[in-house]
Amino acid sequence: MARQSERTCIGCRVPRPKDAVVRVAAAAGRVVLDYREKLPGRGAYLCPEQGCIRKAFARDALSKAMRMKVQAPDEREFITFLADAIRQKIRSLLTMAAKAGKLAAGYSAVKDSFEKGRVEGVLYAVDLSDGTREKIVDAARGVSPPEAKLFTRSEMGAMIGRELVGVVAFEDRGLSDAVFREAKRLKNLIKQDE
Ligand SMILES: [Zn+2]
């Protein structure tokens, strides 16, 4: 396997694989999140973790990395933006899976998908009705793909053009892996907040 190119986080100064860090870019003297890595101009990289963000913003590592005087964003605001960008990415992966016919949505469809051995990962809604997860785990008969609790039933429904959806299962390994990479990133980012 080819070694992934690395980028040094300007907070902890440790080189990381490119997909483990997030890009920020300088625009008109300000620093903005460039989660999709589409913005032109000078950029720098950060681990998506509060400790690294705090260090980078506090000691003006941004100006040094960008080789120009820039103003660090507000730390709280930046973390909120970053969390939103991660949620948005998960949303688009979910929509993509639905369009590709690789998403089982709703209790019966997910149960059926488990029975057919197709489930690669499960997302439960935060407001899932009591006992639903237990029934699905029962149907899975010992198979335990990665799972996370994100979004409300109405948010998940909106992503795939339905009303309330309490659970979805990904039937594609690549898409599921991408979703759980983002979900883990979100969890790491938010957990230090509590
Ligand atoms: Zn770091």
Q: Is residue 38 part of a domain?
A: yes
Determine the structural domain holding residue 25 and report its residue range: 6-73
Residue that terminates a domain, selected from 73, 97, 122: 73
- Helix residue spans in 44-131 (DSSP H): 50-58, 61-66, 75-99, 107-115
Centre of ligand 1 to C-alpha 24, Å, is: 13
Who surrounds ion ligand 1 at CB < 5 A?
9, 11-12, 47, 52
Q: Is residue 78 part of a domain?
A: no
- Work out how many domains the chain is built from and give that number: 2
Same domain, 91 and 43: no
- pLDDT level of residue 194 (50, 70, 90 thresholds): very low
Element (H, E) at 24: strand 22-27
- The whole-angstrom separation of Cα 166 and Cα 126 is 8
Q: What is the CATH number of the domain that holds 157?
A: 3.30.1330.30
Same domain, 94 and 183: yes
CA angle 61, 63, 64 (to 5 degrees): 65
Across residues 96-101, what is the average pLDDT?
96
Same domain, 119 and 178: yes
Which percentage of the chain shows pLDDT scores above 90?
A: 73
Residue 192 has pLDDT above 60, yes or no: no
Centre of ligand 1 to C-alpha 77, Å, is: 18
Q: Give tens-digit pLDDT for 131-180.
A: 999 999 888 888 899 999 999 999 999 999 999 999 999 999 999 999 99
Q: Is residue 79 part of a domain?
A: no
Q: Is residue 142 part of a domain?
A: yes
Q: Give tens-digit pLDDT for 15-27.
A: 999 989 999 999 8
The amino acid occupying position 30 is: R
